[in-house]
Structure 1
Amino acid sequence: MDSADAMIAALRPVADGIAATFGPTCEVVLHDYRRGERSVVAVAGSVTGRAVGGALSEIGLAVLAQGDAAGNDLNYVSRTPDGRVVKSSTMPLRDADGRVFGALCVNVDVTALRQAGDLLSALAGAVPPQPPATTFTNDFEDVVDALVRAEERARGRPAAGLGRGERIALLRALDERGVFRVRNAVPRVADRLGVSRSAVYADLAESRKDKEPTA
């Protein structure tokens, strides 16, 4: 058993213990990014509705995008697709060589607390900001779709109607979000954009040219 597998095995009971300690509003998700789009290897509790074999979210993609430089992201707040407010912490996992291979995520449903706080803010005449939405799902295609839709809104045009230059810019944005660090991401993106996989590979290579160091 290598160091990464040993850490996953050691953290499974830890996940159960954390979830049991904090009760039904807490969920602990253990990710192994080596498994690609089906990175969830253990779930204790139920907040985001994911199961073993489920997908990583935009938050997990951000860890992948940072690579081995990723650090703990603690006590951030987001919204589930159905509007619940979740306070989370994501802690990258490293193997014996210091490479990030997964993450331990703790999610706490604070919707009731948030609603009470929003009511008090409204009584005081303040409008509290809404936390960003996060795509918690068992299907990575849903995450890709959410990210592409965000890019479509930013551009004011459907992805299928973009010219090559605009498509290259879109792919660059997805690449910076860590999408293409996930195995099998290219077919998902190609289907969403309505182009061939070879077109995505070619455009992705073009989008990365500006990042290559010059002599």
Structure 2
Amino acid sequence: MTFERDPLAGVHPLVLAAKPLVDAVGAAFINVDHAEPSDVPLVWEGVTVAAVRLPPLHGALDRLIDSVETELGDTLPMLSREGKQRAIRILDERGAFILRRAVEDVADAMGVSRITVYNYLNAIHR
């Protein structure tokens, strides 16, 4: 008789608790022995149990778009006008438009013109 081992058995509770957040931002857990100074240590009762390596900035807009599509339940091009406006609001709240070429890239991903994205942003900031 073969018993399958639980892949999460022995994983520290702090790592389990942080996993949804780490996954959502596209980060990764790193073993303490392989942590670099730029990694964020996860400390439990004074002991570092793991580290989190933040994702590179490259690909950040794609990750933001993916998270908005998941949140809204459809791809950007398939959203209604109101859905697209909501997507722009969420992306703006999450800082997407501080990235270079973000308006152009979001417009392309959404299937609308840059002017449309700028109009949605102007409506938000009025």
- TM-score (normalizing by structure 2): 0.58
1:114 aligned partner, one-letter code: A
Larger relative contact order (Cα-Cα within 8 Å, sequence gap ≥ 6): 1
1:137 aligned partner, one-letter code: P
Superimposed CA distance per residue, residues 50-93 of structure 1 (whole angstroms, 9 cap, x where no aligned partner): xxxxxxxxxxxxxxxxxxxxxxxxxxx84684733499xxxxxx
- Structure 2 residue aligned with 1:172: 89
Structure 1 consecutive aligned stretches of length 4 or more whose deviation exceeds 6 Å: none
- Structure 2 residue aligned with 1:194: 111
2:39 to 108, 115, 128: 108
- Structure 1 residue aligned with 2:65: 148
Structure 2 CA distance for partners of 1:196 and 1:190, relative to 1, 3 Å = same
- Structure 1 residue aligned with 2:28: 83
Long gaps (5+) in structure 1: 1-76, 88-105, 116-130, 210-215
2-structure distance, mates of 1:191, 1:86? 38
- Identity over the aligned pairs, expressed in percent? 27
Structure richer in strand, relative to its length: 1
Structure richer in helix, relative to its length: 2
- Structure 1 residue aligned with 2:56: 137
Are residue 204 (structure 1) and residue 91 (structure 2) matched? no
